[in-house]
Amino acid sequence: MSGFLKSSIGRKIAMALSALFLMIFLIMHVSINFTSVFSPELFNELSHFMGTNPVIQGLMQPILIFGVIFHFVMGFVLEARNRASRNVSYAKNKGAENSSWMSRNMLLSGVVILAFLGLHFYDFWVHEMTVKYIEGDMSGLIDPNNADSGFRYYEELREKFVSPIRVAIYSVAFVLLALHLLHGFNSAFQSMGANNKYTRSLKGFGKVYSIGVPALFIFIALFHHLTH
């Protein structure tokens, strides 16, 4: 495995696989969050299931955290290794004129998205881990001593989007995520050799995904902010 990651092709394939894994997670994440727009009860049920299921908490959550860390570390490694040669090729071939702003600034967008993930983890994940594993409350109830008090997930989500500053930060981060995905999606499939009769369809799906998923996240934040 270490030998595979030492090769340029190996690192690109590993980067692509981690990206595809995170794309699947984003679909699941935005799908659950979107239920909060039309059914607080369903959102609470799904959130409680995801937050208490032992397979998700004990297996999938650590894999997800590893996937996030691996993807960003591998991205920084690839960018650092390619930057010198890229600068030379740009000087010879006028790369700045022949490539998109996003392709030249994937590292920058990655850093901003990583900073946003830190805020997102602080807002939700750290709080959730504190309630469940430090305070020992696995009930998910607003009042753990009252079974009829209702689940807290929906109210906590709504509360996070009261501040217009926080909503603006989320929106900007998801715009950058869209740009990051637009370039990264095609790069991921190219790294895995998906240059065939399905390439055009994959590119079309990539555009819909890259714009649609971040747009849904922004919509959810704006919805809860404007209807609070």
pLDDT of residue 193: 59
Q: Spell out the residues 6+ positions from residue 194 whose beta carbon is closer than 8 angstroms to its own.
A: 202
User: What is the distance between the alpha carbons of residues 154 and 34, in angstroms, rounded to a whole number?
Assistant: 11
Tens digits of pLDDT across the chain (228 residues)? 555 566 767 777 788 788 888 889 999 999 999 999 999 999 999 999 999 999 999 999 999 999 988 888 887 877 777 666 655 555 555 555 556 666 666 777 778 888 888 888 888 899 999 999 899 999 999 988 888 888 999 999 999 999 999 999 999 999 989 988 887 776 666 655 566 666 777 778 888 999 999 999 999 999 999 998
pLDDT of residue 152: 94
- Residue 212 exposed, middle or buried by CB count within 10 Å (0-12, 13-18, 19+): middle
CB 104 within 8 A of CB 55: no
pLDDT of residue 217: 96
| Half-sphere exposure (Cβ direction) of 212: Cα atoms closer than 13 Å | 10
- Residue of 131, 130, 128, 119 lying closest to 161 (CA atoms): 119
pTM for this model (two decimals): 0.83
CATH topology of domain 2-226: 3 helical TM bundles of succinate and fumarate reductases (1.20.1300)
pLDDT of residue 45: 95
Phi, psi for residue 149 in degrees, rounded to 5: -80, -15
The residue extents of the domains of the chain are 2-226
- With H, G, I as helix, E, B as strand and everything else as coil, classify residue 56: helix
